[in-house]
Amino acid sequence: MFGFGTAKNTIGIIKAAYVWECQMRSLQVGDLVASFTPSFPITARQPARYQRAIEFIGRQGLRFLPGHLTGKDDHYRSGSARERAEELNALLRNPEVRCVMSTIGGSNSNALLPYLDYEAFRRDPKIVVGYSDSTAILLALYAMTGVPTFYGPALVASLGEFPPLVDEIWRYFAAIAMENPAYPLTLPKPTHWTEERLPWESQDRAKTMQANQWRCIQPGRAEGRLIGGNLNTLYGFLASPYFPAIQPGDILLLEDSLKDAATVEKNFAMLKLAGVFDQAGAVLLGKHEGFDDCGSKRTPADILLEVLDGLDVPILADFDCCHTHPMLTLPLGVRVRVDTQALRVELLEDWRELV
């Protein structure tokens, strides 16, 4: 079986010890939230939405610190790989910062991985949250330190949204990152969702929503560690030292946006060839925003079933931890329980107790 993140992992000496010098804690009113831009220069391209997002953060009683690449635009990115890594490293090393949130994804966050200060994150664990292309950073930080990271809202993409969706997105994030619920914790299924795309700089209304449902594609129950994120991002660092070693029974979170059927098939096949699905206890397949079926009438779930070719792994589809709104927040690295027939997902352990 293919072991990710294990071969030639000279950097893995950091994660071997898993000794933390500070206790990771919940985000609290009055805390400092910082942003970083690991790939696409969204703060330069969409200043109105960015401003709306930081005003929303302030209304939650939190202070805000922009990363030093805010407003920078190097064509397809906010800066060089080293510059982007240093922006994040400065925030990881800042003891006053208690939450670091990506502004958006992009296409090349994986370029930062050799330059990140994993030791600083290990010494002072803090909430690091984002989604999409930020998957590379979230999983690398977890793989190298054992500290859970959070697949959840991005500053501009999520918190720049209009009410009522922005309030619902924040409520799901706060329930995990700021409150202290009892565990096991059953994740709520939003009553509605949207993938409507409106021009961000000229948007002047809330998005149109539709009734929500999750779907059981293959029945079953499973318990295991939650790992995953954006499907298209995974191929950029799969089998590197920065990808968490896949364990038997892992629950895979997979989601994507604006891809076509050919790309989705390629990426599912990539995971199959690497032995990931053979290890999986279950798959949480997120809604695919703006999916192009290439005229095939196939859904991402249909393509996944074909790639699995009879492998009997439980699959829950149209899950709401993805690019569509509203988005649930999930801590990566914690144990979860999935019952696909009951359409139920539970967090089994408190992320605070793992650090």
Is-catalytic flag, 323? Answer: yes
Query: Catalytic residue among 109, 132, 240, 257, which?
Result: 132
Domain end position, chosen among 177, 201, 225: 177
Same domain, 122 and 248: no
The Cα 106–Cα 233 span in angstroms is 9
pLDDT in tens, 88-100: 999 999 999 999 9
Same domain, 144 and 193: no
Note whether residue 266 is domain-resident.
Answer: yes
Same domain, 239 and 138: no
Q: 238 vs 118, 139, 284, 315, CA distance in Å?
A: 18, 10, 19, 22
* Range(s) of the domain holding residue 331: 185-354
pLDDT in tens, 311-321: 999 999 999 99
Dihedral of the alpha carbons of 132, 138, 140, 141, in degrees to the nearest 10: 160
Note whether residue 5 is domain-resident.
Answer: no
User: Residue 123: which of 138, 137, 144, 140 has the closest Cα?
Assistant: 144
Position 21 scores a pLDDT of 64
Same domain, 25 and 91: yes
Same domain, 77 and 93: yes
Position 18 scores a pLDDT of 52
Position 22 scores a pLDDT of 72
Position 23 scores a pLDDT of 79
Query: Catalytic residue among 255, 257, 265, 288, which?
Result: 255
Note whether residue 192 is domain-resident.
Answer: yes
Is-catalytic flag, 255? Answer: yes
Same domain, 142 and 210: no
Residue 141 belongs to domain with CATH number:
3.40.50.10740
Position 10 scores a pLDDT of 34
Position 15 scores a pLDDT of 41
Position 183 scores a pLDDT of 97
pLDDT in tens, 201-217: 999 999 999 999 999 99
Note whether residue 130 is domain-resident.
Answer: yes
Note whether residue 337 is domain-resident.
Answer: yes
Position 1 scores a pLDDT of 34
Same domain, 167 and 198: no
Count the domains in the chain: 2
The Cα 265–Cα 261 span in angstroms is 6
Is-catalytic flag, 55? Answer: no
Q: 250 vs 106, 223, 246, CA distance in Å?
A: 26, 8, 7
Same domain, 140 and 234: no
Same domain, 225 and 263: yes
Same domain, 42 and 98: yes
* pLDDT averaged over 10-residue windows placed end to end, the chain, 355 residues: 39 45 89 98 98 98 98 98 98 98 98 98 98 98 98 98 98 98 98 97 96 98 98 96 98 98 98 98 98 98 98 98 98 98 98 94
Same domain, 192 and 59: no
- What one-letter code names the amino acid at 17? A
Residue 224 belongs to domain with CATH number:
3.50.30.60
Domain end position, chosen among 119, 150, 177: 177
- What one-letter code names the amino acid at 335? R
